[in-house]
Amino acid sequence: MREVCEFRVVERHASLLFGATEGTRLGDSIVGYTVRKIEIPTDDPRFHRIGEINEELSSDRNESFFHGWNLIRHYTKADLASAELFHLKITAVFEPPGRDCGTQYDYSDSCPECACPARQASALILDLRKAPKTRDIAMTIHHDEWIVSQRLAGLLADAGLTGFELAPVRHKSQYQDDTMDFRATPKGREVLRRAEAAGYPHPSAEFWYWLNRAEQRALVDQMRQEWVAMRTERERRRAKAPPVWYQLKVKSARVICVAPTRFGLDPFDKESRHRCPRLASDPRGEHVAGGRPLSEFFVDRDSYDGSDIVQTREYGGWSTRVARQAGAKRGGGSPFLLVSPRFRRLLLDYKIRGWKTDVAYLCRK
């Protein structure tokens, strides 16, 4: 296996380590700097120097040497043929996540340090208009919301693969984001008449105070039901039905990662400040292990039940402490998916798009 790391190096700092012709200039990044794409093998002495320069710039100037990175592994045919497991990386990612579309999550049993696990407490609801149209497998940016197309769902079922179940994904209709038009329904017009008679004409501020009183609750509920029914029927007539997607719900036993598996914020993160402090003391619990995987996955063989798809006990993501430092309310993350050679072969044979894999290893503690 040959491993390289792709960096987005800040152009004005690139000369600290690289020649003028090395890499590819990409223009302005999302942080407003001109960046250069640099690919460097991780066994190159300059690789570790990148981390040292980044730390020096951060300490001295509160700046960064790079603003993005990606580890890329190239395997030989022998590597792939001998692999017992693969880390499945879904590359088709979209938003908004289910949490923002009405999917309910239960955090009552979640770790206070990392907010994992978040138990899904309702059907998965997504805006399927945002799902990638040219992919058969995708995921949202939040939790373990993995979805597969109608085509892939049928292939998985026909192949008799194990370790999962499929559940329909509900579509969040566009009208649910619209402002309600009171004049569009009989009950809405009745609300306007009652408000006018009571001295609270629409759209005054007083109207909304009146509308939200308890005595109007039944009328408001009836108005909302009429609005939803009307918009649902209108959407059914005007718009094409959204594509059918299924949630991929992994049901097999979780596998446990062992050394030398590493996680962190960047390739040089030795302390993994995202790691939940409760992970070490709760060997069977589900906690954040770090921001992203920095190595291939090494899995305790005794924790693997032989299923064609499994998920890790460890999560990638943020701890609640780090999330709050960044301005978010809570942390959380997603477990990682590992699949059998049989699962990977199906994806290859049917030219499924939206994924890639690294080799993973089964070993003894």
Q: What is the pLDDT along the chain (365 residues), one digit of tens a residue?
A: 999 999 999 999 999 999 999 999 886 655 567 889 999 999 999 999 999 999 999 888 889 999 889 999 999 999 999 999 999 999 999 988 888 888 888 888 888 888 888 889 999 999 888 899 999 999 998 768 999 999 999 999 999 999 999 999 988 865 555 566 788 889 889 988 888 888 888 877 678 778 878 888 888 888 888 877 887 777 666 656 677 899 999 999 999 999 999 998 899 987 667 788 888 788 678 888 888 899 999 999 999 999 999 999 999 876 555 444 444 444 567 899 999 999 999 999 999 999 999 999 999 87
For 63, phi and psi rounded to 5 degrees?
Answer: -120, 170
DSSP classification of residue 344: H
Assigned token pair, 208: 């909304």
pLDDT at residue 332 in the model: 61
Q: What is each CA distance from 352 to 73, 188, 348, in whole angstroms?
A: 20, 48, 6
pLDDT at residue 141 in the model: 84
Q: What is the CA radius of gyration of the chain?
A: 25
Whether the CB-CB separation of 264 and 301 falls below 8 Å is answered with no
pLDDT at residue 364 in the model: 84
Assigned token pair, 163: 């370790």
Whether the CB-CB separation of 287 and 276 falls below 8 Å is answered with yes
Assigned token pair, 195: 């408000």
Q: Which residues contact 248 (CB under 8 A, 6 or more apart)?
A: 137, 146, 147, 148, 164, 166, 309
pLDDT at residue 237 in the model: 67
Residue ranges of alpha helices (H) inside the chain are 11-14, 45-61, 77-82, 150-159, 186-197, 205-211, 217-238, 320-325, 341-349
Q: Could you give the residue range(s) of every CATH 3.30.70 domain in the chain?
A: 2-74
CATH code for the domain defined by 2-74? 3.30.70
Under DSSP, is residue 202 helix (H, G, I), strand (E, B) or coil?
Answer: coil
Give the other-Cβ count within 10 Å of 219's Cβ: 15
Distance (Å, rounded) from C-alpha 214 to C-alpha 247?
39
Distance (Å, rounded) from C-alpha 143 to C-alpha 118?
8
pLDDT at residue 256 in the model: 94
Q: Which neighbouring-strand residues pair with 246?
A: 148, 168
- pTM here is 0.79
Indicate the Cα dihedral angle 225, 228, 234, 237, nearest 10°.
-100
First CA to last CA distance, the chain: 23
Burial class (CB in 10 A: 0-12, 13-18, 19+), 313: buried
